[in-house]
Amino acid sequence: MMNQMKTRIGIYGYGNLGRGVEAAICHTSDMELAAVFTRRDPSSVAIQSPGVPIVMTSELLNWKDRIDVLILCGGSATDLPGQTPACVKDFNVIDSFDTHARIPEHFANVDTMAKVGKHVGIISVGWDPGLFSLARVYSNAVLPTGKDYTFWGKGLSQGHSDAVRRIIGVKDARQYTIPVESALASVRNGEQPELTTRQKHTREVFVVAEEGADKNLIEQEIKTMPNYFDEYDTTVHFISEEELARDHAGMGHGGFVFRSGTTGMKNEMHHIIELNLKLDSNPQFTSSVLVAYARAAKRLYDEGRCGAYTVLDIPPAYLCEQSGDELRAHLL
Amino acid sequence: MMNQMKTRIGIYGYGNLGRGVEAAICHTSDMELAAVFTRRDPSSVAIQSPGVPIVMTSELLNWKDRIDVLILCGGSATDLPGQTPACVKDFNVIDSFDTHARIPEHFANVDTMAKVGKHVGIISVGWDPGLFSLARVYSNAVLPTGKDYTFWGKGLSQGHSDAVRRIIGVKDARQYTIPVESALASVRNGEQPELTTRQKHTREVFVVAEEGADKNLIEQEIKTMPNYFDEYDTTVHFISEEELARDHAGMGHGGFVFRSGTTGMKNEMHHIIELNLKLDSNPQFTSSVLVAYARAAKRLYDEGRCGAYTVLDIPPAYLCEQSGDELRAHLL
């Protein structure tokens, strides 16, 4: 990428994901952080990159000519459904929208506005949706006869932790989703098991109770909570606030995607494709995927394309700093 | 794919790979086998699909209007370097060219002729190169700071088996490449080891000796063979012709691709991406990948594109029967 302008990235929203994007940019040589946009008072926001402007989101449109790709680092529940369509009118954008059931609607909204503004919007980027979706699509295409399995964890679930925190008498909580080893082994062994929700994952909860709270009652309420816990085997541990801070600050995660399929005129041959992620930091890894797709967004835009895209629409080479020649010589 | 013409596939060369392509087409609903082309006497070739024409390769050009994509099922050493550029002038083609060092040259030759004939040629399709290349490229893009590891096996190596068969006194032989478990464990554990050739794979050879041959001499000759065996720990077993036929007819294979990388301003977080294949039949699985990319070739051609492509240049959705809407709703 010598003698070429770096791709100028804007970060929209500076939480764990925004901080991760900032760090991921430092691992590239063809991108630079142009500005961080925040809804907070910029003077109250401390970033890791000296000299980079911290700007109120209300100033965003003044940066149209100084940002190549805007990476939206808000949440899927309330931020992204409005922000991505609004921003894609004026910027190329990337988001990590991960509410699977609402992806078609979000895609349509982003596509409409992207075409109005002639920009590129790549949605649902991360590891699931994201790298896990790629694994599902490639392996379904290659093995059309077969079964898919996705396991998550071991990892912290933010949504489930929040649900436990809403129980009366709970001061703080962390919930881990854990794949069942025997289920993983059965899939890996080619047995193509039918697995219930309970057979795939267990849940482990660490709770700091308010003083004097009824721990038995809290445990019962967790274990019977509809949708969140009632279909799972759940273990509840009561710990101190200090233990929670000391032992449960990490944001590691991961998971497994399997395709177990057959080929041959009589389905006589069996094959297993497994993708497996072990992540020390869920937000930092997600951010690294976002930054790779920012490179692709710039390239699509430079080719004159516009509209909504997902990871399924983008050639793998578009994510790379290296040229096609370099990729064919060294990574193919 | 209702109310739509099926994509008409031609198979060029009917060995293990050609038979695999024929079977893989039966696992799709949008493709059909139009003809099998062979250099042998067609009356001596028995295929699995009743009614499909078996045609001499000399007749190929008469099929220009009856074939959408020609899948070349020859070998990389002597067949494909000539066949792929020759055929892509008149047909969209897919090949599984797997001599990594010669890919840039093959790509250039195919690209030139594809552009002359305005057709699409997708080269080096399979699992390595192929799915393993995709894993390397995606994971390098996402984790630019890190190390790559590729392990093959356990699986039969045709090239090494052939090398052993050329030794005087050897009647027949099979060679298996086996990844070293402790090396796999170290990589999976995030240790980022520096591994020598010897530390990554062992080799196991099953030999049928000619009557009266000097087995010690054969074993020495195998273990010291330059390039093929001298850098590996090799175990040699002498077995009977019957045992070889009974226990070593399988063509299973597989392997592992890892990216072990770090993120964060201080590389403080570590992540591991692992792709793992377990294949009952190397040629059938490779064929299944070829057929998925035949779908992509047709689509690229219908869009008016031409030239040489590899798996790195093709959007994952192009491999799928399903529409973009269906993929976003169900697999993303």
Question: Measured between alpha carbons, how far is A294 from B141 in angstroms, rounded to an integer?
Answer: 11
Nearest residue to B221 (alpha-carbon basis) of B175, B171, B172, B169: B169
pLDDT at B2: 46
Task: Using CA coordinates, name the residue in chain A closest to B313.
Answer: A315
Q: Which of A279, A321, A331 sits opposite B136 (nearest CB)?
A: A331
> Are B313 and A311 a contacting pair at CB < 8 A?
no
**B residues 42-71 near A, CB within 8 Å?**
48
SS3 category, B145:
coil
* pLDDT tens digits, one per residue of A62-115: 999 999 999 999 999 899 999 999 999 999 999 999 999 999 999 999 999 999
| C-alpha pair distances (Å), A77 with each of A101, A121, A199, A263 | 12, 18, 28, 41
| Average pLDDT of the residues of chain B | 96
CB contact A100 to B (< 8 Å): yes
B145 min Cα distance to partner chain A (Å): 7
pLDDT at A3: 47
Question: Measured between alpha carbons, how far is B210 from B191 in angstroms, rounded to an integer?
Answer: 46
pLDDT at B89: 98
Q: Which of A23, A133, A141 sits opposite B264 (nearest CB)?
A: A23
> Are A263 and B287 a contacting pair at CB < 8 A?
yes
A240 min Cα distance to partner chain B (Å): 27
Please report residues of A whose CB lies closer than 8 A to that of B277.
271-274
- In total, the C-beta contacts within 8 angstroms joining chain A to chain B are 212
B214 min Cα distance to partner chain A (Å): 38
> Are A142 and B287 a contacting pair at CB < 8 A?
no
A296 min Cα distance to partner chain B (Å): 11
Question: Measured between alpha carbons, how far is A25 from A22 in angstroms, rounded to an integer?
Answer: 5
CB contact B124 to A (< 8 Å): yes
> Does this model's pTM top 0.90?
yes
- Under a CB-based contact definition with an 8 Å cutoff, are residues A253 and A159 in contact? no
| Average pLDDT of the residues of chain A | 96
**A residues 157-196 near B, CB within 8 Å?**
188, 190
Task: Using CA coordinates, name the residue in chain B closest to A329.
Answer: B104
Q: What are phi and psi of A163, to 5 degrees?
A: -60, -40
Mutation to test the B interface, candidates A94, A318, A328, A330, most B Cβ within 10 Å: A328
Tokens 């099953």, located at residue: B206
Question: Measured between alpha carbons, how far is B193 from A160 in angstroms, rounded to an integer?
Answer: 37
Question: Measured between alpha carbons, how far is B319 from B30 in angstroms, rounded to an integer?
Answer: 12
pLDDT at B159: 87
* pLDDT tens digits, one per residue of A172-214: 999 999 999 999 999 999 999 999 999 999 999 999 999 999 9
A245 min Cα distance to partner chain B (Å): 19
DSSP per position, B257-320 = EEEEEEESTTS-EEEEEEEEEEESBHHHHHHHHHHHHHHHHHHHHHTT--EEE-GGGS-GGGG-
Q: Which of B131, B145, B315 sits opposite A313 (nearest CB)?
A: B315
Residues of chain B below pLDDT 70: 1-4
**B residues 257-286 near A, CB within 8 Å?**
263-265, 269-281, 284-285
Q: Which of B27, B124, B133 sits opposite A263 (nearest CB)?
A: B27
Tokens 């799972």, located at residue: A232
**DSSP structural state of residue B310:** -
> Are A280 and B269 a contacting pair at CB < 8 A?
yes
| C-alpha pair distances (Å), B227 with each of B195, B197, B198 | 17, 11, 12
Beta strands A170-179 and A155-156 are antiparallel
> Are B276 and A277 a contacting pair at CB < 8 A?
no
Question: Measured between alpha carbons, how far is A98 from A73 in angstroms, rounded to an integer?
Answer: 12
Residues in chain B: 332
Within 13 A of B60's CA, how many CA atoms are on the CB side?
24
Please report residues of B whose CB lies closer than 8 A to that of A100.
332
pLDDT at B83: 98
Mutation to test the B interface, candidates A48, A142, A257, most B Cβ within 10 Å: A142
CB contact B138 to A (< 8 Å): yes
Mutation to test the B interface, candidates A102, A136, A269, A298, most B Cβ within 10 Å: A269
pLDDT at B205: 98
Q: Which of B26, B270, B288 sits opposite A143 (nearest CB)?
A: B288
Rg (CA), chain B: 22
| Angle value at C-alpha A27, between A21 and A28, nearest 5 degrees | 95
pLDDT at B158: 86
pLDDT at A4: 67
* pLDDT tens digits, one per residue of B283-324: 999 999 999 999 999 999 999 999 999 999 999 999 999 999
Q: What interface predicted TM-score (ipTM) does this complex get?
A: 0.96
* pLDDT tens digits, one per residue of A248-301: 999 999 999 999 999 999 999 999 999 999 999 999 999 999 999 999 999 999
> Are A321 and B144 a contacting pair at CB < 8 A?
yes
